[in-house]
Amino acid sequence: MASVKSQAEIERKAKIFSLFSDPNRLKILQCLTHNPSATVSELAEHIEMSVACTSHHLQLLKDNQVVVAKRQGNSMHYQIIKDPLIQKLQTLIIT
């Protein structure tokens, strides 16, 4: 029998699945899959959502370690974190 993961790991995975259940966040992640580094404005334009709403969703993804923000000049660029679980879910998004 396989070993049971720690409670913290199970809760982390459940939170990530919850984050991936929102259509707007899936659109953002799909965009980041095809454009690995994008600003809030670029993402908002591409998914036809306000900058404020896009920023809110990105903050949730960032707080839960799905994306990372890196400053490039005056802009923050978002990228999907290199994590085995995230990468597996990312594969489902693009298919």
Rounded to an integer, what distance in angstroms lies between the CA atom of residue 43 and that of residue 58? 10
Residue 93's pLDDT band (boundaries 50, 70, 90)? confident
Distance of CA 67 to the CA centre of its chain: 5
Q: Residue 5 pLDDT > 80, yes or no?
A: no
Residue 50's pLDDT band (boundaries 50, 70, 90)? very high
In terms of pTM, does the model score above 0.95?
A: no
Question: First vs last Cα of the chain: how many Å apart?
Answer: 32
Q: Residue 77 pLDDT > 80, yes or no?
A: yes
